[in-house]
Amino acid sequence: MADALALVAPGRPLRLGLERVLLAKRGALIVIGDDAAVLSICTGGFLIDAEFSPQRLTELAKMDGAIIMSSDTDRIARANVHLMPSSSVPTSETGTRHRTAERVARSIDVPVLSVSAAMGVITVYRNAEKHVLQAAGRLHDTVSQSLQAIQRFRHRFDLAVTSLSALEIEDTVTLADVAAVLQPAEILLRVGHELEPMFIELGDDGRLLRLQLGELIQGVEPVRRLVVRDYLRVSSGGDGPDLSAQEEKVLGALARLSTEELLDGRKVGTALGLSPAQSDLEESLEPRGYRLLYRLPHFSEGLVDRIVRHFAGLQKIMRASVGDLEQVGGVGQARARSVKDGLSRLAEASILDRYT
């Protein structure tokens, strides 16, 4: 569907033609593709094989039959064609034009457009999907309002992450604190994903809005993953080689939560693998230390993983001496001092950020 929406984005020649058809208070049935599969269900009509223009489309829409265009929409292949898809193909539409459009789209992998003069709408069909185009101005307003909501959730997310860092240093993290990070993170990513079809439909008109969304959700996904990695409960009872698989399982469980369930911190705890008895919001939790260690410069993923597995907990890492850190494979004296100094600076900065 995404490629079909891109073809009818505001400002594109095809969209201009469709809007002219609506202004003329006419309907149209347009198939984007003129390969053998499409031609096999066409009867009647006549060959056009002319360069596309919005004006030409408007004139051809005066005829009752369908219009067949090339797959790149640069040329009009045929006009006044009678389409004969199989009547056994299911359709949920009622109008003749829309029923035919849906059946063609379900039968052949091509975009099909239906312009309704009575309803004043343009509908895009692709396979089993259906999308009604919105006016560019209305779509722009919808996206702008969503971005304002995302901005509020991003502020809430940033505050929660700052608070979590300080609480991890102080060893006073509860399930409520972890949920306070994962909840807005999940919502930010969901809303961003939901806006993607709107950006495609807006085309070039949505470029600045897309850039704004990118800035608002930048860095959310990595933090979300690291928080999950820090607090998930591994079914085997240890960190072992199944930690990555367990991480994906938790992320999937969070993604399956409804919005109402996501707002329940106990449901977030269950997704993390906590038992019902451990899912009290005041349940104390200890991070493994992945997120804070990843904030240290020049530390590879493998090195961070070895440090975490060696000490099994952030507090043990923070209390470790330089000599203790040197016992980890790949950590020499210089790196050990970098860990100690880096965590000390993070501790000071996190506490200052929280209380200022």
Last residue of a domain, one of 98, 133, 168: 133
What is the Cα–Cα distance from 21 to 16, expressed in whole angstroms? 9
Number of structural domains in the chain: 3
Say yes or no: 69 and 184 in one domain: no
**19 shares its domain with 45:** yes
Residues 153 and 281 in one domain: yes
Same domain, yes or no: 143 and 252: yes
Per-residue pLDDT of the chain (356 residues; tens, 9 = 90+): 888 999 999 889 999 999 999 999 999 999 999 999 999 999 999 999 999 999 999 999 999 999 999 999 999 999 999 999 999 999 999 889 999 999 999 999 999 999 999 888 999 999 999 999 988 888 999 999 999 999 999 999 999 999 999 999 999 999 999 999 999 999 999 999 999 989 988 988 889 999 999 999 999 999 999 999 999 997 654 455 557 889 999 999 999 999 999 999 999 999 999 988 877 899 999 999 999 999 998 888 899 999 999 998 999 999 999 999 999 888 888 989 999 999 999 888 877 776 66
> Which domain CATH number covers 45?
3.40.1700.10
* CATH number for the domain harbouring residue 347: 1.10.150.20
Residue finishing a domain among 228, 259, 286: 286
pTM of the shown model: 0.82
Quote the domain boundaries for residue 322: 288-356
**52 shares a domain with 36:** yes
Q: Which of 286, 316, 340 is the last residue of a domain?
A: 286
282 with 172, same domain: the answer is yes
